[in-house]
Structure 1
Amino acid sequence: MTDASHPAIGFGRIACMLPVKDINTAYDFYAGVLGFTKTFQNGNPVGFMILKNGGAELHLTLQPKHKAADFNIAHMMVDNVDALHALCQRHGLRIIKSLQNKDYGLRAFVFEDPDGNRIDVGQPIRP
């Protein structure tokens, strides 16, 4: 549905902004564990960083007093949710919701990153 008073708007990418207490620790996790690559950083000391992996993009913002929310702040679609779940377990990350097939067509789980940010991960269930 479009509003006749506004022109049609085409949206490009939308990137998730993740608040982190220590940007180097967050970078080590997202790059070292999940395979993201740093494409930009800003500040001295660094207070902002852009990471990419395939079509996914994360923006890390330094927030030293960050207190994690008690809800999911990002959703990632992946092509091997079981492998990511196993990787999270190997690295001792807290699993908030266990890996399971959902009635809405995703195999999914929720984990906390090192800053306590809850990330919902899903993969479409193929017939």
Structure 2
Amino acid sequence: MTNPIRLGRIAAMLPVADMQSTAFYCGVLGFSKTLENGDPVGFMILERDDAELHLTLQKDHRAVHFNVTHMMVGNVDAMHDACKAHGLRIVKGLRDHDYGLRAFVFEDPDGNRIDVGQHIAK
């Protein structure tokens, strides 16, 4: 039996204490703002390549102690270096995993934990 429901893109929604987090996502990771909503802005869509990220203003945001999203990249070492260069906390160091990913976990400026991985060539 085939499922008649077709899924489109799914985008991660990250809570931020203020919208200054766009400086990291746009300035460091190269995302572009494609939509801002509210006055003051309380919701934003950022895009880069095939990735889409939604930021939502939650002034009382308190980060949780688990990964809130996973990001696949083409050069995990360069991403790791960029996070370190900008003083972000590396929660789990960069290493190769037996399930075929080279990965690390960092905290964005709002403390959201993001797992970053790249497939290891066989």
Shorter-chain TM-score bucket reads: over 0.9
Q: State the identity %.
A: 66
Find out whether 1:20 has 2:16 as its counterpart.
Answer: yes
Cα offsets for 1:27-62 (capped at 9, x unmatched) = 111000110000001000000000001000000000
Find out whether 1:38 has 2:22 as its counterpart.
Answer: no
Give the distance between the partners of 1:21 and 1:27, measured in 2 at CA.
11
Cα offsets for 1:79-111 (capped at 9, x unmatched) = 000000000000000000000000110000000
Over the residues paired in the alignment, what is the CA RMSD in angstroms? Answer: 1.0
Among 78, 82, 89, the alignment partner of 1:83 is 78
Match of 1:57 in 2: 52
Moved over 4 A (4+): none
Match of 1:113 in 2: 108
Give the distance between the partners of 2:116 and 2:4, measured in 1 at CA.
31
Gaps of 5+ in 1: none
- Normalising by structure 1, what TM-score? 0.93
Give the distance between the partners of 1:8 and 1:118, measured in 2 at CA.
34
Give the number of the structure whose alpha-carbon radius of gyration is greater. 1
Q: Alpha-carbon deviation of 1:9?
A: 1.5
Which residue identity does 1:46 align to in structure 2? V
Q: Alpha-carbon deviation of 1:8?
A: 2.4
Find out whether 1:100 has 2:95 as its counterpart.
Answer: yes
Other structure's SS at 2:9 match: coil
Aligned length: 122
